[in-house]
Amino acid sequence: MKKNVKVLTCTMLSMMLANSGLAVYAKDGDDTDTTKDETIYAILNSDGTVEEQIVSSWLHNDHGIKNIKENLDIKDVKNVKSDEKPNISGNTYTWDSESNDIYYEGTTTKKLPVNVNVTYKLDGKEIKGKDLIGKSGKLEIHIQMKNTQTKVVNINGKNTNIHPLYVGAGVVDLSSDHFKNVKINHGTVLSEGNNQVVGFVSIPGLEDTLKSSNIDPEAVNYSDEYVIECETNDFELGPIMVTFTPEVPLDKLKDIDSFDDLTKGLNDLTSASEQLLDGTTQLADGTNTFNSKMKELVDGVPTLTNGVDTLKNGTGQLVSGSTALSSNLNVLQNGLSQAKEGTSALVSATGSMNELVDGIKQVNGGNTALAAGLKDGSAQLNSLLTSDIYQSVASSLSGLPDEINSLEAGLSQLANGVGQLQAGLSTVDANGNKTDLAVAEETVNQVAAQYAQACELDANSQECGIYKSLKGVTGALDNTRDGVNTLAEGVQGLASKQQELENLKSLATNASGLLSKVNDLSNNLNTAAQSAETLAAGTNQLNEKAGALLQLNPSLQKLDGALGQLQNGSSQLYTGSQTLTQGIQSADQGVAQLQGGAKTITNGAGQLYDASSLLASKTKELNNGMSTFKTSGIDEMNRRVTLTVDDINQILAIKDEIIKENETQHTFTGAPENSESKVKFIYKTEELEKTKKADTEKTTTTESKKENFLDKIGDFFKNLF
């Protein structure tokens, strides 16, 4: 019975998720082409109390939204896809658009069909969600579902609380960084990356309905309260998310009308489990036998691989040795070829040995004469350089430039002095004015003129003496001017010869350099003479040994012949070594392939043995698990099906009443008259984190967010069931 209730719940949930994005098509009547899809987002506080309800609706009509009216329990309506606005009259909203679709949002305060109450306990003590943040300990999260819509119906003499059927699914993400040892009383825990995902299926109100009919909910393993137990460290929790919908497969529920329908699946399951248990037992026995034989194979493989490895090492050494032999033989062949070329060249060269010997004699005679001439010339030049005349000339030439420089400096000073004398004796200055000397001279002449008559009267008079003295001064002054002018002319004449002095100085400098090069020439000549003597001694020895060269050619001819034979032999030996190397390499490659095959066999045998061991282990686990499943699961399920026939009949009658209630549960805030509509509810609690993320759900409820959440739940329960 419990299994069938679960199967039924899962079937309804799957239908809900599969149809979550599809419209339900209309019945006959006005506006029957209009469909409405309504989603209510309930934003909850951490304890489950409602903070805000956002309504997201989609109207569709293939012929356009023409004068479509709705009576809505909603406010703040906003078109989210276009600028078109409805005509509002009280609670009546009229849409008129050429578009086939209208998407709008709003808010409502209407009472939700299902309330969610969340409480928290840390180490056995109740605590508020926000006070849990950052704390650690043993945690309990109690999630209580309550269906708020109730109708009392007398069923078989029992007043029974009937609630519209809302099938719900919840998901709670628990990060492995903050939670461990997670379990839930009525649900499943799955691992998803770094998260542990707790999932549960709910039919709010079912527990109350069963109790009001005196049926124990535990008999069908159901409760409206879900308890998550775990250990938390530095508590942080994302949102608890639950979705509900009345869109369930009523036709399938209607088809269940007898106890046999509820129990047939359980009987089939019992029979199938017995067959599975027998099959897993046989499989476990077979894999054990296979694993034993694989062990024998694996134990024998190392002997094969060791032998192949030894063979491979030997062929590897042969390849290395033969390669080295071939390489060395190639070097020997090349060396012999070069030697043969050398001896052939020597034989050819020594064929004209007589002419060479005559040439050596001539060269020796010339070198001897050259050495004697250079030695004699060097001696004569050294005698000249050490003579007094050479030393005197060299000394005079070395000092001559300095003496010429001193003479040029004296002439310059003399010219300056003469110029100053001329300027001092001049009667006119640079500006054309009379100098003081000219004025004085005129004065003397004037005074002398006054005493000139005195001399005519008395040549011995004092006045005549003064006259003569004055005239002597002016005459001396004129003589001085004449002497200075004559001196100036002489200085100018010397200045005209200054270029000749410069040429003489240059000549003296060049002569000094030439004498220095003569000394270098003497040194080089001495060196050349010594080298010529050494060369003459060498050619003399060569001349003495030239006779022996005449005997070299016959010996070289014999050596050349022997090298030719040796060259031919080494060539044949090298060719043979190449053939040997190729053969050994082929053998080594074959052994390498054999070695690779042996390793493959080793690895494959080891992997196969590991796989067979794992298979044996897992088949044993499968057999043990199947046995446990049979005894503790199926058999226990049969044992615990305690529902009476009256209970079954009462549940079937309750089912029929619930179906009646659900046939009208297709909208929450309202829909166009005669349209077909569907509705779903998505609940989301606030996040309990140290740094809260931006709550975009409060301001934006796009279709992509809705589908992402529904996809998440769908994926979870696909893995679960």
Least confident of 62-71, 629-638, 683-692: 629-638
Whether the per-residue pLDDT at 18 is higher than 70: the answer is no
What is the pLDDT, as a whole number, of residue 700? 45
pLDDT band at 721, cuts 50/70/90? very low
What is the pLDDT, as a whole number, of residue 23? 36
> What integer is the mean pLDDT of 601-607?
66
Sorted by sequence, the CB contacts under 8 Å of residue 2 that are 6+ apart come out as 219, 220, 221, 637, 640, 641
The residue assigned the tokens 């779903």 is 680
pLDDT band at 52, cuts 50/70/90? very high
Least confident of 58-72, 73-87, 492-506: 492-506
Helix (H) or strand (E) holding 643: none
Helix (H) or strand (E) holding 122: strand 114-122
What is the pLDDT, as a whole number, of residue 26? 35
**DSSP character at residue 25:** P
**DSSP character at residue 691:** S
59-71 pLDDT tens trace: 999 999 999 999 9
Q: What average pLDDT does the chain have?
A: 75
Q: How much helix, strand and coil, in percent to the nearest 5, is found in the chain?
A: 60, 20, 20
SS3 621: helix
> What integer is the mean pLDDT of 36-55?
96
CA 43/CA 246 separation, integer angstroms: 20
Q: Taking the C-alpha atoms of 399, 404, 406 and 408 in order, what is their torsion angle to the nearest 10 degrees?
A: -170
Whether the per-residue pLDDT at 697 is higher than 50: the answer is no
| 152: Cα within 13 Å, side-chain hemisphere | 4
pLDDT band at 43, cuts 50/70/90? very high
Least confident of 145-154, 339-348, 481-490, 704-713: 704-713
Of residues 498, 563, 123, the one with CA closest to residue 341: 563
- Most confident range (mean pLDDT) of 335-344, 371-380, 434-443, 706-715 is 434-443
Whether the per-residue pLDDT at 653 is higher than 50: the answer is yes
> What integer is the mean pLDDT of 156-174?
91
Amino acid at 661: E
547-562 pLDDT tens trace: 666 666 676 677 667 6
pLDDT band at 112, cuts 50/70/90? very high
The residue assigned the tokens 């694989």 is 294
What is the pLDDT, as a whole number, of residue 210? 92
Of the two residues 9 and 403, the one the predictor is more confident about is 403
Of the two residues 584 and 140, the one the predictor is more confident about is 140
How many other CB atoms are there within 10 angstroms of residue 129's CB atom? 21
**CB–CB of 45/686 below 8 Å?**
yes
What is the pLDDT, as a whole number, of residue 478? 78
Please state the pTM of the whole predicted model: 0.47
Structure token pair of residue 383: 């005698």
Of residues 473, 494, 476, 474, the one with CA closest to residue 484: 476
CA 600/CA 607 separation, integer angstroms: 10
SS3 21: coil
506-557 pLDDT tens trace: 766 776 666 666 666 667 667 766 776 787 777 777 666 666 666 666 766 7
> What integer is the mean pLDDT of 585-613?
68
Can you say whether the dihedral through the CA atoms of 695, 699, 704, 707 is positive or negative? Answer: positive
Structure token pair of residue 27: 């019945």
> What integer is the mean pLDDT of 462-488?
76
Q: Residue 602 to residues 287, 311, 325, 594, 607: CA-CA distances in angstroms?
A: 21, 17, 36, 12, 8
CA 319/CA 304 separation, integer angstroms: 23
CA 599/CA 301 separation, integer angstroms: 9
What is the pLDDT, as a whole number, of residue 658? 81
Whether the per-residue pLDDT at 86 is higher than 80: the answer is yes
